[in-house]
Chains A and B, each alone.
Chain A
Amino acid sequence: MADELTPDELLDKIDYGADSGNWMDTTKSVQIRPGMYCYAAKAESVETLGLPNARPWNPVEEDWKLPDDWQQILHNGIKERLERFRTFKIFMDVCVRCGACADKCHFFLGTGDPKNMPVLRAELLRSVYRNDFTTAGKILQNIPGGQRLGGNRPLTLDVLKEMWYYFFQCTECRRCSVFCPYGIDTAEITIMARELFNLIGLNIDWIATPVSNCYQTGNHLGIQPHAFKDMLEFFVEDIEEITGVDCTPHYQKKGADILFITPSGDVFADPGTYTCQGYLILFKYLKDKYGLDVTWSTYASEGGNFGFFTSHETMKRLNAKMYAEAKRLGVKWILGGECGHMWRVIHQYMDTMNGPADFLEVPVNPITGTKFANAASTKMVHITEFTADLIKHGKLELDKGRNANRILTFHDSCNPARGMGLLDEPRYVINHVCDNFYEMPPNTIRENTFCCGSGAGLNAGENMELRMAGALPRATALKHVHEKYGVNTLGTICAIDRAALSTLCEYWVPEVEVAGIHELVGNALILPGEKDRTEDLRMEPLPGCEEEE
């Protein structure tokens, strides 16, 4: 875990002066080392989805137990993807290696490893593309020294291992893409590389097992329907203790107005659970005040989609449940909770993959009359869009004072920021539930935001050194506002962030806690018939109630 390497030891390793020598040579000495890689996918998880080459294997062993024709499989796989994805084809061809992306990657900034420069990460695959798919590459193969000169490499086992190592050191955060003059998106290249790995059974377990769980059981964590209900009921009890109000939700309620889907992480792990309680309080409020009927589903109980980190096909298979369940229940539209990559999938992929959702209505907030025209086709609305609209129309009674002990900053999650542009909605909500809000430096927020270092399926335990290194740029910015403004809470709208940033804080900035935005909403919202509240959702005394403790 994190204590294997102290922050100081980690900082000692950072050096942005790249190695001398030719990066193509180092293939021979690819060192897949503990702390930096994730364990191999379990055979049974790969089998659940019927994906290829399910077997036990270990990345640090010499033999990866690949199919005999793995090179041919990958070659065909690349060829097919070049035809299917214009992004991939253009991004393989047009990079000029200007280096603008080089120091934009949190993993490069945290490790100093030159192969974590986005340009070089892409070159690992590009070198194979140039060798096998371009005329120049085919000519250079026949000239002594030509391959080296052209930066071309045949797809050897070493090259494969190196690619595997580094494409699982990318969190698909797209920060490099913001700075690229041609919009080259390393996330897209990583997505292709991981699809290719999956063709020969090279997924990591922290992705494969959640995917398998989600497919069979409905959510990444494999929470079975009765257990899911138990967990929410446990929150209901806590909320009742704190507020005196029973917020019991509906499950699979046919004919409800809205189906609500959120990442299962919010049901399972602190501090996401407090955010989940915030949702329950909000829905109870809307039910009592305005008669809005929101239902949860244990079948579609996962907003996140680790299929996105596996392949486009797997993403589609998992995502299909959202529309299927909305159709079965006959709701009007879908509301989505706070999550990062979930929203990239919903915003940029879902309708294309599993639409058209013509059985749903264009989302209208029945309480305010607002039509969410921006979601007219996909028919799914982000909860901060929804809550911001309610606040704007004065439909929520909020007591900001209950969050007065929170000095807040906001971490933009990569996917809502750079794959959607959801920036001001959460800030609007924050400013109405909390008085003390300070932004981190401009180079580290909004479209320039830094990843938590654990996205895209890398939130495992065994790669903690990698995660904490990748977390450094975010931590540095956080530390800055902590020291300057006394920030003690890091707000976020992503379930992976809630888990990953908590570890980040513990390691780099221990004085700061992580909170979802709807946890703060839950604290501030004045429920009809509530008792005199003295505790927040964490059962800690509210500001002004400390003496009673």
Chain B
Amino acid sequence: MTQKYLIPLTAVFLLFLVAYTGAGAGLGWFFGFVFPYVAIIAFLVGFVIKVMGWAASAVPFRIPTTCGQQKSLDWIQQNRIDNPDTTLGVFVRMLLEIFTFRSLFRNTKAAFNRNASNRITYSWEIFLWVAALAFHYAFLVVLLRHFRFFTSPVPGVVQFLESLDGIVQLGLPGLFLSGVVLPAAVLFLLARRLFDAKLRYISQASDYFPLFLILGIAATGISMRYFTKVDVTGIKEMTMGLVTFSPVIPDGIGGLFYGHLFLVSILLAYFPASKLMHLGGVFLSPTRNMANDTRAKRHVNPWNYDVPIHTYQDYEDHFRDKMIEAGLPVDKKE
């Protein structure tokens, strides 16, 4: 069992070391632009292939999971969001699902109390929702902040986001909230997997790997900003070179940066082949993105085919005598 998290942990550590030492040994070009380009391509191509693969599969039936009152009689209040019958309703449902993790917000925790009451009790379990939301939004902020390295001049939006993120104005360089929230949320998600018996049982190496990877990325990033104080000018020169397709490898950037960049590249390349594709999948999930209007509007199954059925005539032929005897109407008397 310990393999499930020790192997991913070791893997992330080794990956970092490879880049850290490799860059020092003159392989800066590989970790600095060859692999990042490969990773970006793998990410984009892989993502598109995966989503197209899903889109290529048919949606034969309209099977939304309904989580509220349907639209039926005019005087019965419909739950337009959790049981939408219009595109607008579906849009709002999806918006709330994607941006606020609405379904996860419902989460409860069940407990069974043997002997005392023999009752199953349910309590609202909000921590997973909080941690998931904190993690995803902190990650988004960190990602957007990094556009400072790929744009010149830096757009006002990115600068504004930075000022918001650094609103506590603590220390120098100023502390970013996302830099605290992101690792804290990842650690919480990791702790759930390690210490909750049910979660430990269902977790795979592929659940631990992205967590360690993101933790590694955060740790190297934070370390560069607050502790080792890397050559930011040199790094920006290099990252600008990457986006303008004129790669340069300035001296004195340091192994830590290459380690950071390599882990990010690994994350990108790994993304399409992993569960991280829930990013794309959530948009296409038929139980959420369809209106519950099947009885009002016919949904067409593209591969619907005829099937053998037992017709009324077959039935009557089989039971005619008994039906006549029982006084049931028949189509043919003989």
What is the interface of chain A, defined by CB distance below 8 A to chain B? 11-12, 14, 16-23, 50, 82-90, 93-100, 102-104, 109, 112, 114, 117, 119-120, 123, 134-136, 148-151, 174, 177-185, 188, 215-216, 218, 224-226, 229-230, 251-254, 298-299, 312-313, 316-317, 320-321, 324-325, 328, 346-349, 351-353, 355-356, 370, 372-378, 380, 385, 388-389, 392, 417-425, 428, 441, 443, 446-447, 472-473, 476, 479-480
Query: Bound state CA distance, A473 and B119, in angstroms?
Result: 8
Query: Bound state CA distance, A181 and B135, in angstroms?
Result: 15
A392→B65 contact, CB < 8 A: no
Does B104 sit within 8 A of A, measured CB to CB?
Answer: yes
A174→B309 contact, CB < 8 A: no
Known: A93-B281, A218-B315, A420-B70. A476 touches B119 (CB 8 A): yes
A421→B322 contact, CB < 8 A: no
Contact sample, A vs B, 7 pairs, CB 8 Å cutoff: A18-B198, A102-B199, A149-B205, A324-B312, A352-B299, A353-B304, A423-B68
B298→A355 contact, CB < 8 A: yes
Name the interface residues of B192-233: CB closer than 8 Å to any CB of A: 192, 196-207
Among B58, B66, B203, B309, the residue within 8 A (CB) of A417 is B66
A97→B287 contact, CB < 8 A: no
**Proximity bits, B92-127, A CB within 8 Å = 1, else 0:** 000001000101101111111010001110100000
Across the interface, name the chain A residue whose C-beta is closest to B279.
A94
B110→A103 contact, CB < 8 A: yes
- The 9 A-B residue pairs with the shortest CB-CB distance in the complex, in nearest-first order: A421-B70, A94-B281, A226-B326, A183-B287, A421-B66, A18-B201, A183-B288, A151-B204, A86-B57
Q: How many whole Å from A150's CB to the nearest CB in chain B?
A: 7
Does B303 sit within 8 A of A, measured CB to CB?
Answer: yes
B contact residues around A179 at 8 Å (CB): 103-104, 106-108
Across the interface, name the chain A residue whose C-beta is closest to B297.
A377
A352→B60 contact, CB < 8 A: yes
B contact residues around A419 at 8 Å (CB): 63, 65-66
Across the interface, name the chain A residue whose C-beta is closest to B315.
A299
B202→A119 contact, CB < 8 A: yes
A136→B196 contact, CB < 8 A: no
Does B146 sit within 8 A of A, measured CB to CB?
Answer: no
Among B56, B82, B97, B275, the residue within 8 A (CB) of A83 is B56
Query: Bound state CA distance, A372 and B299, in angstroms?
Result: 18
A374→B72 contact, CB < 8 A: yes
Among A19, A83, A96, the residue within 8 A (CB) of B278 is A96
Q: How many whole Å from B211's CB to the nearest CB in chain A?
A: 11
B contact residues around A298 at 8 Å (CB): 323, 328
B286→A370 contact, CB < 8 A: no
Query: Bound state CA distance, A320 and B107, in angstroms?
Result: 39
B120→A476 contact, CB < 8 A: yes
A83→B57 contact, CB < 8 A: yes
Query: Bound state CA distance, A229 and B325, in angstroms?
Result: 11
B contact residues around A148 at 8 Å (CB): 3
Does B17 sit within 8 A of A, measured CB to CB?
Answer: no
B contact residues around A119 at 8 Å (CB): 202
A contact residues around B277 at 8 Å (CB): 93-94
Q: How many whole Å from B133's CB to the nearest CB in chain A?
A: 11
B76→A348 contact, CB < 8 A: no
A contact residues around B107 at 8 Å (CB): 100, 179
B interface majority secondary structure = loop
B328→A385 contact, CB < 8 A: no
> Which of under 10, 10 to 19, 20 to 34, or 35 or more describes the interface residues of B?
35 or more
Q: How many whole Å from B127's CB to the nearest CB in chain A?
A: 11
Q: How many whole Å from B69's CB to the nearest CB in chain A?
A: 5
Q: How many whole Å from A414's CB to the nearest CB in chain B?
A: 11
Known: A93-B50, A174-B65. A324 touches B318 (CB 8 A): no
Among B106, B204, B298, the residue within 8 A (CB) of A178 is B106
A contact residues around B160 at 8 Å (CB): none
Query: Bound state CA distance, A181 and B101, in angstroms?
Result: 6
Across the interface, name the chain A residue whose C-beta is closest to B270.
A136
B54→A181 contact, CB < 8 A: no
A contact residues around B323 at 8 Å (CB): 225-226, 298
A contact residues around B122 at 8 Å (CB): 441, 443
B contact residues around A215 at 8 Å (CB): 310
Does B284 sit within 8 A of A, measured CB to CB?
Answer: yes
Across the interface, name the chain B residue whose C-beta is closest to A392.
B75
Name the interface residues of B278-298: CB closer than 8 Å to any CB of A: 278, 281-282, 284-288, 292-298
A325→B281 contact, CB < 8 A: no
Name the interface residues of B301-334: CB closer than 8 Å to any CB of A: 301, 303-304, 307-312, 315-316, 318-319, 322-323, 325-329
Query: Bound state CA distance, A89 and B57, in angstroms?
Result: 8
B contact residues around A18 at 8 Å (CB): 197-198, 200-202
B contact residues around A151 at 8 Å (CB): 204-206
Name the interface residues of B43-59: CB closer than 8 Å to any CB of A: 50, 53-59
A99→B296 contact, CB < 8 A: no
Q: How many whole Å from A387's CB to the nearest CB in chain B?
A: 11
Q: How many whole Å from A452's CB to the nearest CB in chain B?
A: 15
Known: A97-B204, A225-B323, A348-B61. A480 touches B273 (CB 8 A): no
Does B62 sit within 8 A of A, measured CB to CB?
Answer: yes
B54→A89 contact, CB < 8 A: yes
Known: A18-B201, A84-B58, A95-B275. 13 other contacts (CB 8 A): A20-B200, A94-B285, A99-B128, A102-B198, A103-B108, A103-B110, A183-B97, A298-B328, A352-B60, A353-B304, A418-B65, A424-B76, A425-B72
A150→B315 contact, CB < 8 A: no
B294→A352 contact, CB < 8 A: yes
Known: A11-B118, A94-B282, A225-B328. A178 touches B70 (CB 8 A): no
Does B161 sit within 8 A of A, measured CB to CB?
Answer: no
Among B54, B70, B79, the residue within 8 A (CB) of A90 is B54
Across the interface, name the chain B residue whose C-beta is closest to A50.
B308
A19→B201 contact, CB < 8 A: yes
Does B144 sit within 8 A of A, measured CB to CB?
Answer: no
Does B148 sit within 8 A of A, measured CB to CB?
Answer: no
Known: A86-B54, A86-B286, A419-B66. A370 touches B329 (CB 8 A): no
